[in-house]
């Protein structure tokens, strides 16, 4: 039978919820992404909770909340303990995203779903892979190979290819075929005829305009507001699409010599840009070439100021400015507070660059028409004073006393248990436990030990004298002294990897900025105060699509080119999912599925695959020809069994003759050079190779359309002597089997 494949959406199916899917390949269970929304609603994770302990591996595709937000919570509360695989940028930027989210929550609430330690624990054992790196799984996953490829949506974004027994399962969500300022387009189009393609229908109904016009409209809308004395707020993510926006703003501000200040405000803004500066090899070709030629790092932002608190903004007052602040949902974070401050002024602008998550304030403001007033909750953390501080300190003191009493009781129980075991295990010269306590009181200088000798007692010959614990030195010695084991003085591989992962000064203070670290490490007792208020929305509200996803037309084109045997559609509204499902079912020669949440579908291949071994008898009769790094040969054999294994054996009778097979890929330019070296007069004419006066060699096929289909080489001309000589030279360019 073929490789068994089952897909079960745990979230993000027939809706725009966070992405989380269960993929079983021959019993090995992958968790494809582990997303959560900014609302942190634990009810969304109920399907995940049912299967989390059974997961064998987690594959992360993008470094934002919708793709990895639930990972710390799942590992702390749901029993998820599988190894996690991701690219280096997804690991680093995902870590910063989770830190920023926790800090934003902690500043306005007693957030307890996960802590910074939980975030560290979740990301501690992430296995980081490079693009196109084949990683072979072990143990239960033996025979499965995973490989990340460029997705193009976010920095480090991944299309995962999972291979077992020659069949490919491709997980490609939120990909982008367009080349952007800091990212190349996806390589998904290079995959041809995988067994299963899992992709999203998020943008199936959306069509985008030209990128240059989109960028121009974006800048013009900002400048118009700034010129009229207003300010602009861009609610953004922590370390995802905001990177493209920063480059656009920095470039246009420099080209137009604009002086309006631009601020990038998150709890980890400086750390984010510091990390991004070191990820140039993960970015587009243009950025890499620019750095190689002039050492110019695109993220040495000249027009953007990185800040981690609002004090800088408060100093400016009503000065026109552009602020990019997290979170994009406006639920928590700096963007929430700044929106409340700016909403009352008609001259200000709130510009959304991505569709708001369902149920959030951003989504509410993006409806048409937008509400004229919204209710928001303003919260802040303040230190305790007066009676509250005194009550808090008394409570803490009471808790400490209770813990001390519990600790002493536990220690006493352990001491009693150890005394009991010593008495039972001791030799006849030791006194029983009851006598031991009495003797300890009588002679306290013995320290209350059980091994007390009584004057006049003659120990038996089998006993040994009591003594303090002594450990014999069993070290080996040679002519130069004690033999040293180098392993005792070198870090183990796991410790080295951990040290490299964290880097110097990359603990708490390295992952979050100094101001945020001080906020967390501040032990001053505090509380959160909240008040609900109604905000009159007088400012302008604009949405422009800078999400960096392929639009509906492009998604359909890419899927048609990939032409999977079976297609699974996830993550998209019911309308977009049904639309793309009907389109693919009508226009593709593929089985199309669109499962509901917790609905398991079987997409096992209809083909049967068997593993066979080449027998020694067969191999001894094969003549191989070297082709590049490989050797090729024509094999005539029949299937047999040896030790319950399928093997290929030499045929029992003479095999029928086969037609000659030419192996190789001819380039006409190389063939032209070859003929010129042989003294022929050769030139290109109309895309064909003109050889001598009468013979023409041309390639025909679908290569000009980017297809990988077969090509034919045609020799045209009269059957003269030149014809046969050219044909002979042509055959020499191939391997004949």
* Distance between CA atoms of residues 405 and 228, nearest Å: 68
**Is the distance from CB of 330 to CB of 336 less than 8 angstroms?**
yes
pLDDT at 34: 96
b/e map 423-436, b = 16+ CB within 10 Å = beebeebbbeeeeb
* Distance between CA atoms of residues 288 and 736, nearest Å: 43
pLDDT at 701: 64
Q: Which of 239, 201, 283 is nearest to 64 (CA)?
A: 239
- Token pair 């390639």 in the structure block, residue: 699
* Distance between CA atoms of residues 397 and 409, nearest Å: 18
pLDDT at 225: 95
Q: What is the DSSP letter of 655?
A: P
Count of beta carbons in the 10 Å neighbourhood of residue 704 = 8
Q: How far is CA 690 from CA 666, 676, 686, 687, in A?
A: 16, 12, 9, 9
Q: How far is CA 375 from CA 333, 372, 433, 479, 528, in A?
A: 16, 11, 71, 83, 19
Q: Which of 29, 25, 35 is nearest to 570 (CA)?
A: 35
Count of beta carbons in the 10 Å neighbourhood of residue 448 = 15
* Distance between CA atoms of residues 680 and 677, nearest Å: 7
Count of beta carbons in the 10 Å neighbourhood of residue 64 = 25
Q: Coil, helix or strand for 549? A: coil
CB proximity list for 416: less than 8 A, separation 6 or greater: none
**Is the distance from CB of 428 to CB of 463 less than 8 angstroms?**
yes
The strand pair at 144-150 and 135-136 is best described as antiparallel
* Distance between CA atoms of residues 23 and 422, nearest Å: 55
* HSE-CB of 257 using CA atoms within 13 angstroms: 0
212-229 pLDDT, tens per residue? Answer: 899 999 999 999 999 999
For the chain, first and last CA: distance in Å?
A: 31
Give the CA diameter of the chain.
126
* Distance between CA atoms of residues 446 and 238, nearest Å: 65
pLDDT at 507: 43
Helix and strand element counts for the chain (H, E)? 22, 35
Beta bridge partners of 234: 324
* Distance between CA atoms of residues 557 and 199, nearest Å: 13
**Is the distance from CB of 627 to CB of 737 less than 8 angstroms?**
no
pLDDT at 104: 93
Question: In CATH, what number does 5-207+545-602 get?
Answer: 3.60.15.10
Q: Which of 93, 594, 243 is nearest to 101 (CA)?
A: 93
**Is the distance from CB of 326 to CB of 334 less than 8 angstroms?**
yes
Q: How far is CA 241 from CA 63, 238, 301, in A?
A: 10, 8, 16
- Token pair 């609430």 in the structure block, residue: 109
* HSE-CB of 371 using CA atoms within 13 angstroms: 12
**Is the distance from CB of 558 to CB of 191 less than 8 angstroms?**
no
Q: In terms of residues, how long is the chain?
A: 737
Q: What is the DSSP letter of 657?
A: P
* Distance between CA atoms of residues 104 and 65, nearest Å: 13
pLDDT at 422: 52
Q: Which of 160, 192, 158, 193 is nearest to 175 (CA)?
A: 158
Classify 298 in phi/psi space as left (phi over 0), alpha (psi -120 to 50) or beta: alpha
**Is the distance from CB of 5 to CB of 605 less than 8 angstroms?**
yes
Query: pTM value?
Result: 0.75
Report DSSP letters for 129-175, one per residue: E-TT--EE--GGGTTEEEEEEE-SSSTT-EEEEEEETTEEEEEE-S-
**Is the distance from CB of 329 to CB of 339 less than 8 angstroms?**
no
- Token pair 């002679």 in the structure block, residue: 443
Rounded (to 5) percent helix, strand, coil in the chain: 35, 20, 40
Q: Coil, helix or strand for 480? A: coil
The strand pair at 126-129 and 135-136 is best described as unpaired
- Token pair 């536990």 in the structure block, residue: 410
**Is the distance from CB of 699 to CB of 648 less than 8 angstroms?**
no
Which backbone phi and psi does 244 adopt, to 5 degrees? -65, -40
* Distance between CA atoms of residues 423 and 435, nearest Å: 10
CB proximity list for 519: less than 8 A, separation 6 or greater: 103, 107
**Is the distance from CB of 327 to CB of 339 less than 8 angstroms?**
no
* Distance between CA atoms of residues 389 and 404, nearest Å: 22
Q: Which residues of the chain have pLDDT under 70?
A: 1-2, 418-474, 488-523, 607-608, 628, 701-711
Report domain 211-372+537-543's class.
alpha beta
Beta bridge partners of 713: 699
**Residue 8, token pair as written in the block:** 């079960």
pLDDT at 458: 63
Domain chopping of the chain, boundaries: 5-207+545-602, 211-372+537-543, 613-649, 662-736
Asked if the domains at 5-207+545-602 and 211-372+537-543 fall in one CATH topology, the answer is no
pLDDT at 499: 43
């Amino acid at each position: 039978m073929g490789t068994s494949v089952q897909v079960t959406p745990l979230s993000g199916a027939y809706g725009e919820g966070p992405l989380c899917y269960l993929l079983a390949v021959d019993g090995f269970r992958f968790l494809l992404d582990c997303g959560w929304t900014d609302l942190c609603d634990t009810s969304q994770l109920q399907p995940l909770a049912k299967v989390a302990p059974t997961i064998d591996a987690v594959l992360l595709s993008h470094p934002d909340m919708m793709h990895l937000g639930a990972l710390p919570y799942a590992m702390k509360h749901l029993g998820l303990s599988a190894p996690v695989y991701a690219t280096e940028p997804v690991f680093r930027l995902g870590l910063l995203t989770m830190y920023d989210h926790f800090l934003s929550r902690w500043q306005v609430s007693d957030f307890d779903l996960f802590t910074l330690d939980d975030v560290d624990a979740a990301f501690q054992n992430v296995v980081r892979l490079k693009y196109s790196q084949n990683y072979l799984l072990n143990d239960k996953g033996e025979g499965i190979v995973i490989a990340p490829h460029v997705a193009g949506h976010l920095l480090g974004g991944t299309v995962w290819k999972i291979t077992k027994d020659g069949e490919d399962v491709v997980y490609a969500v939120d990909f982008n075929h367009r080349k952007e300022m800091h990212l190349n387009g996806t390589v998904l189009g290079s995959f041809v005829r995988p067994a299963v393609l899992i992709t999203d229908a998020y943008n199936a109904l959306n069509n985008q305009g030209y990128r240059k016009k989109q960028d121009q409209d974006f800048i013009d809308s900002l400048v118009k507001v700034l010129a009229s004395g207003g300010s602009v707020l861009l609610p953004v993510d922590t370390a995802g699409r905001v990177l493209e926006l920063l480059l656009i703003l920095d470039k246009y501000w420099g080209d137009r010599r604009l002086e309006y200040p631009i601020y990038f405000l998150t709890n980890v803004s400086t750390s984010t840009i510091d990390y991004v500066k070191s990820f140039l090899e993960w970015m587009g070709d243009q950025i890499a070439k620019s750095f190689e030629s002039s050492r110019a790092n695109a993220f040495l932002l000249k027009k953007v100021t990185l800040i981690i608190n609002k004090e800088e903004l408060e100093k400016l007052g009503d000065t026109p400015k552009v602020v990019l602040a997290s979170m994009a949902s406006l639920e928590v974070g700096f963007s929430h507070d700044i929106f409340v401050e700016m909403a009352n002024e008609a001259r200000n602008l709130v510009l959304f660059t991505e569709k708001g998550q369902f149920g959030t304030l951003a989504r509410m403001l993006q409806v048409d028409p937008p509400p004229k007033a919204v209710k928001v909750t303003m919260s802040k953390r303040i230190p305790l004073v007066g009676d509250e501080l005194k009550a808090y300190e008394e409570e803490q003191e009471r808790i400490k006393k209770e813990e001390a009493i519990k600790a002493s009781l536990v220690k006493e129980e352990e001491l009693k248990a150890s005394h009991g075991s010593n008495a039972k295990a001791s030799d006849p010269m030791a006194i029983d436990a009851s006598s031991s306590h009495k003797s300890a009181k009588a002679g306290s200088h013995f320290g209350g030990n059980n091994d007390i000798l009584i004057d006049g007692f003659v120990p038996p010959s089998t006993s040994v004298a009591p003594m303090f614990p002594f450990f014999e030195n069993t070290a080996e010695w040679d002519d130069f002294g004690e033999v040293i084991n180098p392993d005792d003085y070198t870090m183990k591989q796991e410790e080295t990897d951990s040290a490299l992962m964290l880097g110097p000064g990359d603990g708490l203070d390295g992952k979050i900025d100094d101001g945020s670290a001080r906020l967390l490490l501040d032990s001053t007792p505090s509380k959160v105060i909240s008040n609900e208020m109604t905000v009159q929305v007088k400012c302008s509200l604009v949405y422009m699509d800078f999400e960096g996803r392929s639009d509906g037309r492009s998604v359909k084109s890419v899927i048609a080119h990939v032409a999977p045997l079976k297609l699974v559609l996830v993550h998209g509204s019911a309308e977009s999912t049904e639309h793309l499902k009907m389109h693919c079912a009508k226009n593709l020669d593929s089985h199309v599925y669109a499962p509901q949440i917790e609905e398991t579908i079987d997409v096992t291949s209809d083909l049967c695959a068997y593993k066979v071994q080449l027998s020694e008898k067969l191999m001894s009769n094969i003549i191989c020809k070297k082709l590049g790094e490989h050797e090729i040969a024509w094999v005539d054999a029949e299937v047999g069994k040896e030790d319950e294994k399928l093997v290929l054996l030499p045929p029992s009778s003479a095999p029928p003759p086969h037609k000659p097979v030419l192996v190789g890929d001819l380039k006409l330019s190389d063939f032209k050079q070859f003929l010129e070296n042989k003294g022929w007069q050769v030139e290109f004419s109309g895309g064909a190779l003109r050889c001598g006066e009468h013979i023409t060699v041309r390639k025909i096929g679908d290569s000009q359309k980017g297809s990988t289909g077969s090509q034919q080489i045609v020799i045209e001309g009269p059957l003269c002597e030149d014809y046969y000589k050219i044909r002979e030279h042509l055959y020499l360019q191939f391997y004949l089997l």
